[in-house]
Amino acid sequence: MSGDRALLVDYGEGIALSVNEKVLAISSLLRHNPPQGVQAVVPAYRSFAIIYDPLLTEPDILKREISSIENYHNHALRPEAQLVSIPVRYGDEWGPDIAIVSAHTGLKTEEIIQLHSSREYPVYMIGFTPGFCYLGGMDERLKTPRRETPRVSIPAGSVGIAEMQTGMYPVESPGGWQIIGKTPLRLFAPERENPFLYKAGDRIRFEPISANEFDRIYKKEHS
Amino acid sequence: MDIFIVKNPGALTTIQDLGRFGFLDRGVPPSGALDSSACRIANLLVGNQENMGVLEITVMGPILEAMEAADIAIAGAEMGMTINKTPVPAWRSLRIKKGDVIRIPLAEKGCRAYLAVNGGFAAPVVMGSRSTFVRAGFGGFQGRALVKGDILKKGKAALLEQPLLLPSEFIPEYPKELVLAAIPGPQEGSFKGALDLFFTARYEVTAQSDRMGYRLRGPLIEHDPDAPQSIITEPVVPGNIQIPADGQPIILLVEQTTGGYSKIATVITADLKKVAQALPGNIVIFAQTSIEEAHRLYREEERRLEKIRALLSLPRLQTVFF
């Protein structure tokens, strides 16, 4: 229970892909076939919230709906996932903390880029700011703690690392993650028909690009 | 059509409606009027739909010069509005003409007032709402608070046939000490040793309070020794009261979708408008309640608005609703 308008359902204590997949599958089923009175379904790492209108339903009814969907889920298909490719310029002014990651991990810049861009990351959840994605499955060798003092402002498009997580800042905001690169894409564009490039459950792959390529795509995206 | 030129923007004046829904799972918070009740009533008082764009005025209001004749109404915090330097009442419609200067000086009681105009303040609908989300820079007037020289537009609508006013029994009071009903949870289990203290303590509203959250100062709320200090990030809703490491509660409002701090309790929906009207220095006391009671108060609030809606429709519809 999270107040008088939201039910919070959680499926475990830690961050695990199997738990997150269950959260996303059940959220997706609830969203595609919402029980009466349900206004929103918000998935996170290991939990989801159902926001409801107390004039139209009550928590006990929703709890019954959720358990019936949990049973049905065993036979259900997973929600359709996309693979989204994100061009990234690593290091220098685009990724000012790559030296910190290098000092902490003992890896050379090229090795960091190679390890970070050589796998597909599942999008566990989106939160914090519009389109900010929390990605799982980073190579353990890249693990780096958050900055001791968070930055007041991190530019839109920045790609960062915090402990075992990696993710992107779609809008300029404060933040404590180590910034290793930047994408020229507009990850969140409110005026676009689809303002977002990805959703929870999708997979993301980072493609290293040159400075020229960055400028070319940036101009196209921001014109 | 152009309706106002902003002579002075005030402390924080933004266009809001009842909020942006459908994108919570993408990290886009609801935004919208913090005191949705005052926003709805202001709109009703000028014959608008309740969800039309209004100006949310915080603590210190703007000076606006009218560019056309219109009906306006102000609801919420008592701010001593004047038209051409003559004091005018709140909670009723007022006819203005071209060249009139509207001043909304300072909140005397309450923190936020809502100014509505017939036809609604116009702004592009972004992701289903006219609400401004300043932190991400979109919605409302160019994604930001008003500044001097802005020209505000309004939607087309007929002027009222007769003035509308809210009967005084519906006008809320804004006391300096507020009691907020709250339901324990979702992480009340991490605060077994502190729940009694939390529900008896007096907290002061600090100046670090905004549309994202109200930070309070008062008795320290400690996590139980065996409880985790934080949680894996999960969805949050307006009213959640989170306890960060310093033990000082924060009431979350409309500009955040997820969070990683434990939440000891949640302010009920019917009392969120009281939070919206709390000024720094005001005292907050939390009163434990049940979900059943919260839902009863929610329905009561809806019935109250239904009654207001019916009353304000009377002159135009000539229909008796009750």
DSSP code string of B57-71? EESB--EEEESS-EE
Q: How high is the pLDDT of residue B319?
A: 38
Question: pTM of the prediction?
Answer: 0.94
From B136's Cα to the closest Cα of chain A, the distance in A is 6
Tell whether the torsion through CA atoms of B172, B178, B179 and B182 is positive or negative.
positive
**What number is the average pLDDT over the span B238-265?**
95
Q: How far apart are CA A116 and CA B43, in angstroms?
A: 52
Confidence category of residue A1, pLDDT binned at 50, 70, 90: confident
Across residues B238-247, what is the average pLDDT?
A: 95
In chain B, which residue ranges form alpha helices assigned H by DSSP?
36-45, 195-198, 272-276, 291-317
For residue B318, name the pLDDT band (cuts at 50, 70, 90): very low
The pLDDT of B296-307, averaged and rounded, is 96
Calculate mean pLDDT across residues B206-227: 96
Across chain A, what does the average pLDDT equal? 94
Strands B283-288 and B177-184: parallel
Q: What is the pLDDT of residues B21-65, one digit of tens each?
A: 999 999 999 999 999 999 999 999 999 999 999 999 999 999 999
Residue A74: predicted pLDDT:
62
CB contact under 8 A, B257 and A128: yes
Q: Would an 8 Å CB–CB cutoff place B227 in contact with chain A?
A: no
- Among chain B residues, CA nearest to A156: B136
CB-based contact (8 Å) between B257 and chain A?
yes
pLDDT at B154: 98
CB contact under 8 A, B27 and A43: no
* Averaged pLDDT of chain B: 95
| Residues B129-141: tens digit of each pLDDT | 999 999 999 999 9
Query: Touching check for B64 and chain A: CB below 8 Å?
Result: no
Residue B316: pLDDT over 50? no
Average pLDDT for residues B64-77, to the nearest whole number? 98
Q: Which of A2, A126, A172 is facing B27, going by the closest CB pair?
A: A126
Chain A positions in Cβ-Cβ contact with residue B131 (cut-off 8 Å): none
Contact B232 A15 (CB under 8 A): yes
Is residue A50 within 8 angstroms of chain B, CB to CB?
Answer: no
Share of chain A above pLDDT 70, in %: 97
> B231 or B204: whose pLDDT is higher?
B204
pLDDT number for residue B321: 35
pLDDT tens-digit map of A142-185: 999 999 888 999 999 999 999 999 999 999 999 999 999 999 99
| Residue bearing tokens 């009175």 | A37
| Candidate from A2, A195, A196 with C-beta closest to B237 | A2
Say if residue A214's pLDDT is above 90: yes
Percent of chain B whose pLDDT exceeds 70: 97
Nearest chain A Cα distance for residue B89, angstroms? 34
pLDDT in tens, A41-91: 999 999 999 999 999 999 999 999 999 888 876 655 566 789 999 999 999
Q: Average pLDDT, stretch B115-124? A: 98
For the segment B77-86, the average pLDDT, to the nearest whole number, is: 97
- The identity of residue B140, as a single letter, is G
Nearest to B155 by CA among B233, B52, B229: B52
pLDDT over threshold 70, residue B315: no
Average pLDDT in the B191-209 region? Answer: 97
Classify the complex by whether its ipTM is higher than 0.95, answering yes or no: no
Chain B contact present for A106, CB below 8 A: no
Task: Say what percent of chain B tops pLDDT 90.
Answer: 95
Q: How far is A4 from chain B (nearest CA, A)?
A: 6
Q: Omega before A208 cis (within 30°)?
A: no
Residue of B188, B234, B299 for testing the chain A interface, max A β-carbons within 10 Å: B234
Give the residue-averaged pLDDT of A187-215.
96
Cα of B101 to nearest chain A Cα, Å: 34
Token reading at B119: 């036809």
Instruction: Give the H/E segment covering residue B258.
Output: strand B258-267
* pLDDT confidence of residue B313: 79
**For B256-285, how does the pLDDT look when each residue is reduced to its tens digit (9 = 90+)?**
999 999 999 999 999 999 999 999 999 999
Confidence category of residue B286, pLDDT binned at 50, 70, 90: very high
For residue B268, which of B247, B299, B303, B235 has the smallest C-alpha distance? B299
Among residues A117, A119, A90, A110, which one has the least CA distance to residue A184?
Answer: A90
Q: Please say whether the dihedral angle defined by the alpha carbons of residues A141, A143, A148 and A151, taken in this order, is positive or negative.
A: positive
